[in-house]
Amino acid sequence: MSHTQIDYSQLFRLDGRTVVVIGAGSGIGRESAQALAAQGAHVVVADYSLGGAEATAALITQRGGIAEAYEINVLDDDAVVAAAERFGDASALVFTAATNVRKRMEDYTLDEFDRVVNLNLRASFQLIRHFGTRFAANGGGSIIGFASIRAQVVEPGQGVYAATKAGLVQLAKTAAAEYGAQGVRVNVVAPGVVETPLTAQIKANDEWYGAYAQKSALGRWSRPEELAGAVVYLASDASSFVTGSTLFVDGGWTAIDGRFTPPAS
């Protein structure tokens, strides 16, 4: 992108570029895949569930977009290496896959600890370094992970999940430092509370759901599609000088206290 002749009408366009979205079978990943395709990207719709990936790819192609479904288990190291080899010439990687076990630390089993850490942190590490190495060899690219407000603020029962998300933030910063000279940018999006399958347990409890809605400055939960713009931004030339950063899309959750609105005077 020339600094003297920028066509701002094309700033967010991704025509002729391939973007790999892992976790695109549902939720935020599915919405992000559709948004990227709408900007002209060839989207590799990757998911543990091939059926979910195929359903998302169908949504894209029905609207004239370009997509292909790809089955991947990110807990399988060989599968991650193979994906990086196959799609190493992509311009961006997005990964949203995560899990959570809501338990106080004293009640956690080590099997549960391993399950959350392996998917949220270990798999992220593998994706970042294998795709980062390939992107670096190919002249650059953008890697976009999903952290959480829990990387910064916590509540009882969020210990291991929060630790993995804080860990992902630091992995992304380090990868940004290590691959930056080769033109690879690495950033994370940090959502607040989003209506996805991962939060169904909370939505089922009216008091819990309402408390979370009131915690944000906007007074509500976010919808998965409200994260898609951040993904498009970080995948596109609009963010060409953005790396090692955390983009909070949390409705103001981390900005305000939220527990009480005092009188103004």
CA angle 103, 109, 115 (to 5 degrees): 85
pLDDT at residue 200, as a whole number: 80
Asked whether residue 6 carries a pLDDT value surpassing 60, the answer given is yes
Cβ within 8 Å of residue 23, ≥6 positions away: 29, 46, 47, 94, 95, 96, 97, 98
The percentage of residues in the chain with a pLDDT greater than 90, rounded to a whole number, is: 90
Task: Name the one residue in this structure whose structure tokens are 């338990």.
Answer: 103
For the chain, give every domain's residue range.
13-249
Pull the structure tokens for residue 199.
């939060």
Pull the structure tokens for residue 123.
């798999």
Looking at every residue in the chain, the average pLDDT score rounds to 95
Q: What is the mean pLDDT of residues 157-171?
A: 98
Given CA atoms 220, 222, 223, 229 in this order, what sign does their dihedral have? positive
| pLDDT tier, 3 (very low <50, low <70, confident <90, very high otherwise) | low
Residue 8 among the catalytic residues: no
68, 54, 33: which is closest to 227 by C-alpha?
Answer: 33
Asked whether residue 258 carries a pLDDT value surpassing 80, the answer given is no
Pull the structure tokens for residue 37.
């395709």
Of the CA atoms within 13 Å of residue 213, those in its CB half-sphere come to: 13
Catalytically annotated residue among 8, 48, 108, 161: 161
The pTM (predicted TM-score) of the whole model is 0.95
Q: Report the greatest alpha carbon distance in the chain.
A: 62
Residue 137 to residues 109, 160, 237, 239: CA-CA distances in angstroms?
A: 41, 34, 19, 21
Pull the structure tokens for residue 94.
């997005």
Pull the structure tokens for residue 70.
């790809």
pLDDT at residue 5, as a whole number: 85
- Segment 81-119, tens digit of pLDDT: 999 999 999 999 999 999 999 999 999 999 999 999 999
- Does 1.10.10.60 match the CATH number of domain 13-249? no
- Amino acid identity of residue 248, one-letter, is F
- Amino acid identity of residue 156, one-letter, is P
Q: What is the mean pLDDT of residues 29-58?
A: 98
Long-range contacts of 210-217 (CB under 8 A, 24+ apart): 214/258, 215/253, 215/258, 215/259, 216/192, 216/250, 216/251, 216/252, 216/253, 216/256, 216/258, 217/251, 217/252, 217/253, 217/255, 217/256, 217/258
Q: Measure the CA–CA gap between 196 and 78, rounded to whole angstroms.
A: 29
Q: What is the mean pLDDT of residues 169-193?
A: 98
